[in-house]
Amino acid sequence: MPLVLATDDTGGPEIFASVQGEGPSAGMPVAFMRLSRCNLACVWCDTAYTWHFDGDERPHRGGVTYARKANQVTLPETEVAAIIQSLGQNRLVITGGEPLLQAPALARLLELLPDLSVEIETNGTTKAPPPLDIRIDQFNVSPKLAHSGNPAELALLPERLDAYATDPRAWFKFVISQPADVDEVLALRDRYRFRPGHVFLMPEGTDSETLRTREKWLAELCVKHGFRMSDRLHIHLFGDTRGT
């Protein structure tokens, strides 16, 4: 099956060059590819157009659903590879939605791009099968806490978190809305023994004012508990827009 991608504002595939805005690679120039579809439903998701389609009754704070046909585009791996190569970047970030839902097609795509370093942004509920796993240099794992609206039995799977916690390629990034959310992160850190230095706390927000306000108290909690803090550079640079 070909790749199912999210669309940008022109209706074309959301593939673009920018700087990585979050996590351990923040500030690096990269090519981005955003895939469509997700197995979770975060109430604050800022890419709801990848999954909250008409007829989906799962809650989202925006209260908007999207026409699937206008927000998805299906392309063969060869065409996607050509677009990515045309951007002239050495590193590819695959995001979503949940990219690992399309693991077989991704493995075929990356066979066509053997010289690129690859990082995948995942919610941590799925695994990359061997043909894909061998081509991934970095996993940006973002397990969803209770404030996401996802039940823990769907969002926090022990088998998957155990596997990522022991993978040196995995970095953990937790979205934080209020100080109490950090208590959940501490409990997960103690349970799964995440690698020191591999855990980021990132404020939830889609505008600079909200991010800066939350970062003031989040920085103190990072210092207190030994976590790293992630900003969202793309929001400061471009706002909450597609293709950035």
Q: To the nearest whole percent, how much of the chain has pLDDT over 70?
A: 100
CA distance 5 to 73: 5
Domain boundaries, the chain: 3-170
The strand pairing partners of 229, in sequence order, are 201
- Residue 89's pLDDT is 98
> CA 95, CA 10: separation in Å to the nearest integer?
19
Sheet holding 117-122, edge to edge: 15-19, 29-34, 91-95, 117-122, 138-141, 170-176, 199-203, 228-229
Sorting pLDDT into bands at 50, 70 and 90, what band is 92?
very high
Residue range 215-221: mean pLDDT, rounded: 98
Q: Round the average pLDDT of the chain to a whole number and report it.
A: 97
The CATH number of the domain covering residues in 3-170: 3.20.20
Q: Tens digit of pLDDT for each residue in 124-155?
A: 999 999 999 999 999 999 999 999 999 999 99
Q: Is the dihedral of CA 104, 93, 214, 238 positive or negative?
A: negative
Q: Encode pLDDT of 15-72 as tens digits.
A: 999 999 999 999 999 999 999 999 999 999 999 999 999 999 999 999 999 999 999 9
Residue 1 has pLDDT above 90, yes or no: no
Q: Which two tokens stand for residue 137?
A: 């240099």
* Residue 130 neighbours by CB under 8 Å, 6+ apart: none
DSSP element (H, E) containing 176: strand 170-176
Q: How many residues does the chain have?
A: 244
Instruction: Pull the structure tokens for residue 23.
Output: 């996590």
Quick one: pLDDT at residue 112?
98
Q: Which of 102, 84, 82, 73 is nearest to 33 (CA)?
A: 84
Q: What is the mean pLDDT of residues 168-187?
A: 98
